[in-house]
């Protein structure tokens, strides 16, 4: 059987090239593949990337690293506030941005990963999101046709994983990671703890290893908090 | 005139026992502080949590546990985590009974605009378009007018829309309005606010029938 375990982020991102489409899991900075993003930022020659990610990081963390290096040509996201460099590049036209409703974005990944090329959703009907898209009425309600997404590489972050690529996520760090894992031509998983087959309870695995091609254990996760709020 | 906390308090009166509720960022988040005694609601956070609890103490902070506003939070007994596609499956299929969100403009057809000011602010719609397209009850929490005292309760929204024909109720610093049949119906006045003041602050068609009671808070 092909070995899925790689040494580290540098080895995991081998094969990612200029102009490719990447999916990156995470919501805000929660559950982002911080090790692989850091490794990509150390290869500034990999440019013209299309990045599909719910958010675009902050100025000095997450996808903010790749933005600063001008490695990203296009972002497909639902919410991109809280990032000054992003805003600057978007307004100056350096960066192309396709804003997509969050549920539509999640379903585009899930459906793409499930072999379904398009679907009808009510989100965005009657708004500029629907412009140029086919609309159809079902049971008296209007829907728009949205096309699914797949990636050249999907990069996800899990809490635990085994050497067969099975993944378990923690709390709300799950978010987009499972759907994006499904939609990768090659899916890379970075995990906090890599274990042997049999150590994860099969009843409690969130992402079956069939969707994961490369896996490694990351060291010293920073897990930066965007809005530290206490009671 | 109501303070933000009072708007949240008034909206909390709308909650029904057993409901699943999604609260947006800003005033809507405050609604969680005023859930009436004896009413059991489950808060849905669209980043993947049902059963959102209060903010953590310093010792309990978990970077992996945040709400849709990216704030650190806690869970409640019986909470559940899920991924983003399941989260929006619940929303799209109408399992969440009430959505409360903020707006820059609403109009008499129930259209809402809250995600973009062309040339000025483009942060994105997040989950708002999915929420307003599917929730049965959508209550908007907002100020009745902008800083220049222009009405935000309009005949027709001027900003790019988030959703059409979806808002059911609006609670502002001045009034509670129901959106029905292409008009705003005045249900309640904020304490000390006259019907004329509300009329003057409302650009959209306002239907006033009979005596309009003051809100009870």
Query: Considering the domain boundaries, does residue B154 fall inside one?
Result: yes
Long-range pairs of A129-136 with CB within 8 A, sequence gap ≥ 24: A129/A99, A129/A100, A129/A101, A129/A104, A129/B125, A129/B129
Query: Considering the domain boundaries, does residue B27 fall inside one?
Result: yes
Please indicate if any CB of chain B lies within 8 Å of the CB of A170: yes
Nearest to B63 among A27, A128, A223 (CB): A223
Quick one: pLDDT at residue A87?
Answer: 86
- CA of A13 vs chain B CAs: smallest distance (Å): 24
Q: Outline where chain B has alpha helix (H).
A: 4-12, 27-30, 84-92, 128-134, 195-200
Q: Taking Cα atoms as reference points, which of B90, B110, B85 lies closest to residue A126?
A: B110
- CA of B25 vs chain A CAs: smallest distance (Å): 13
CATH number of the domain bearing residue B117: 3.40.1080.10
Contacts of B68 in chain A (CB under 8 A): 27
* Domain total of chain B: 1
Contacts of A137 in chain B (CB under 8 A): none
Task: Report A:78-117 residues touching B (Cβ under 8 A).
Answer: 78-81, 90, 97, 99, 101-107, 109-110
- CA of A111 vs chain B CAs: smallest distance (Å): 9
Query: Considering the domain boundaries, does residue B215 fall inside one?
Result: no
**B183 vs A223: CA distance, rounded Å:** 48
Percentage of residues of chain A with pLDDT beyond 90? 94
E strand spans, A78-166 = 96-99, 118-121, 135-138, 141-147, 151-162
Contact assignment for B64 to A172 by CB distance below 8 Å: yes
Contact assignment for B85 to A178 by CB distance below 8 Å: yes
Chain B: residue whose CA lies nearest to A82? B123
pTM to 2 decimals? Answer: 0.97
**B109 vs A162: CA distance, rounded Å:** 53
* Cβ count within 10 A of residue B108: 25
Contact assignment for B46 to A173 by CB distance below 8 Å: no
- CA of A96 vs chain B CAs: smallest distance (Å): 13
Quick one: pLDDT at residue A1?
Answer: 59
Query: Considering the domain boundaries, does residue B74 fall inside one?
Result: yes
Contacts of A176 in chain B (CB under 8 A): 83-84
Contact assignment for A174 to B82 by CB distance below 8 Å: yes
Share the mean pLDDT of chain A: 96
Quick one: pLDDT at residue A83?
Answer: 85
Residue A182 CB partners (closer than 8 Å, separation 6+): A109, A110, A112, A113, A114, A154, A207, A211
Q: Taking Cα atoms as reference points, which of A104, A90, A227 lies closest to residue B46?
A: A104
- CA of B26 vs chain A CAs: smallest distance (Å): 14
**B24 vs B30: CA distance, rounded Å:** 9
Q: Are B61 and A230 a contacting pair, CB within 8 Å?
A: yes
**A160 vs A166: CA distance, rounded Å:** 8
> Is B46 marked active-site?
yes
Contact assignment for A226 to B70 by CB distance below 8 Å: yes
Query: Considering the domain boundaries, does residue B216 fall inside one?
Result: no
- A114-133: average pLDDT: 98
Contacts of A103 in chain B (CB under 8 A): 46, 84-85, 87-88, 91-92, 127, 129-130
Q: What range does the domain containing B131 cover? A: 4-207
* Cβ count within 10 A of residue A208: 15
Q: Are B188 and B176 a contacting pair, CB within 8 Å?
A: yes
Interface residue of B130, B136, B165 to substitute, partner A, most A CBs within 10 Å: B130
Residue B24 exposed, middle or buried by CB count within 10 Å (0-12, 13-18, 19+): buried
What is the full DSSP assignment across B70-90? SBB--EEEEEEE--HHHHHHH
Task: List residues bridging with A30 in a β-sheet.
Answer: A27
Contact assignment for A103 to B61 by CB distance below 8 Å: no
* Cβ count within 10 A of residue B137: 17
- CA of B80 vs chain A CAs: smallest distance (Å): 8
The pair of structure tokens assigned to B75 is 């869970």
For residue B155, give Cα distances in angstroms to B105, B110, B138, B161, B177: 10, 10, 18, 14, 14
List of chain B residues with pLDDT < 50: none
**B26 vs B5: CA distance, rounded Å:** 10
Query: Considering the domain boundaries, does residue B213 fall inside one?
Result: no
pLDDT in tens, A20-67: 999 999 999 999 999 999 999 999 999 999 999 999 999 999 999 999
Task: Report A:53-82 residues touching B (Cβ under 8 A).
Answer: 54, 77-81
Q: Which residue has the tokens 């309990």?
A: B60
Chain B: residue whose CA lies nearest to A226? B70
Contact assignment for A123 to B123 by CB distance below 8 Å: no
Task: List residues bridging with A144 in a β-sheet.
Answer: A121, A135
Quick one: pLDDT at residue B120?
Answer: 81
Residues in chain B: 217
Q: Are A200 and A17 a contacting pair, CB within 8 Å?
A: no
Residue A27 exposed, middle or buried by CB count within 10 Å (0-12, 13-18, 19+): buried
Contact assignment for B72 to A80 by CB distance below 8 Å: no
Residue B46 φ/ψ, nearest 5 degrees: -70, -10
The pair of structure tokens assigned to A13 is 């991102």
Instruction: Indicate the pairing of strand B121-122 with strand B116-117.
Output: antiparallel
Q: How many CB pairs under 8 A join A and B?
A: 173
- The catalytically annotated residue of B13, B37, B46, B214 is B46
Contact assignment for A126 to B163 by CB distance below 8 Å: yes
Contact assignment for B124 to A80 by CB distance below 8 Å: yes
- A171-182: average pLDDT: 98
């Amino acid at each position: 059987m092909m070995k899925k375990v790689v040494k580290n982020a540098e080895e995991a991102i081998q094969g990612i090239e200029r102009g490719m489409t990447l999916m990156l899991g995470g919501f805000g900075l929660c559950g982002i593949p911080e090790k692989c993003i850091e490794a990509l930022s150390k290869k500034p020659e990999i440019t013209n990337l299309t990045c599909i990610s719910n958010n675009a990081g902050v100025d000095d963390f997450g996808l903010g690293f790749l933005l600063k290096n001008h490695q990203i040509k296009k972002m497909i996201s639902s919410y991109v506030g809280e990032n000054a460099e992003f805003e600057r590049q978007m307004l100056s036209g350096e960066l192309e941005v396709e804003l997509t409703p969050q549920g539509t974005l999640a379903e585009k990944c899930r459906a793409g990963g499930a072999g379904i090329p398009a679907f009808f959703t009510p989100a965005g009907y009657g708004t500029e999101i629907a412009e140029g898209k086919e609309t159809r009425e079902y049971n008296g309600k209007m829907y728009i046709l949205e096309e699914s997404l797949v990636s050249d590489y999907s990069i996800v972050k899990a809490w635990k994983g085994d050497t067969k690529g099975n993944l378990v996520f923690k709390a709300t760090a799950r978010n987009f990671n499972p759907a994006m894992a499904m939609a990768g031509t090659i899916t890379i998983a970075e995990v906090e703890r890599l274990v042997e087959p049999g150590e994860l309870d099969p009843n409690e695995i969130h992402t079956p290893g069939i969707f994961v091609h490369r896996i490694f254990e990351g060291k010293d996760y920073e897990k930066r908090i965007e809005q530290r709020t206490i009671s | 005139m109501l303070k933000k906390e009072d708007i949240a308090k008034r909206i909390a009166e709308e909650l029904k026992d057993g409901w699943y509720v999604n609260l947006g960022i800003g005033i809507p988040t405050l609604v969680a502080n005023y859930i009436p005694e004896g009413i059991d609601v489950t808060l849905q956070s669209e980043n993947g949590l049902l059963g959102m609890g209060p903010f953590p103490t310093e010792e309990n902070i978990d970077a992996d546990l945040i709400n849709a506003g990216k704030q650190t939070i806690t869970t409640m007994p019986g909470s559940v985590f899920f991924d983003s596609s399941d989260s929006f499956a619940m929303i799209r299929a109408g399992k969440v009974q009430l959505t409360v969100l903020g707006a820059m403009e609403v109009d008499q057809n129930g259209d809402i605009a809250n995600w973009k000011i062309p040339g000025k602010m483009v942060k994105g719609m997040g989950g708002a378009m999915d929420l307003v397209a599917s929730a049965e009850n959508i209550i908007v929490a907002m100020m009745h007018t902008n800083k220049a005292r222009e009405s935000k309760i309009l005949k027709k929204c001027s900003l790019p829309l988030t959703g059409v024909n979806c808002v059911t109720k609006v609670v502002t610093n001045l009034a509670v309005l129901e959106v029905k049949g292409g008009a705003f119906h005045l249900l309640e006045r904020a304490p000390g606010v006259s019907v004329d003041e509300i009329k003057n602050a409302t650009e959209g068609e306002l239907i006033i029938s009979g005596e309009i009671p003051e809100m009870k808070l």
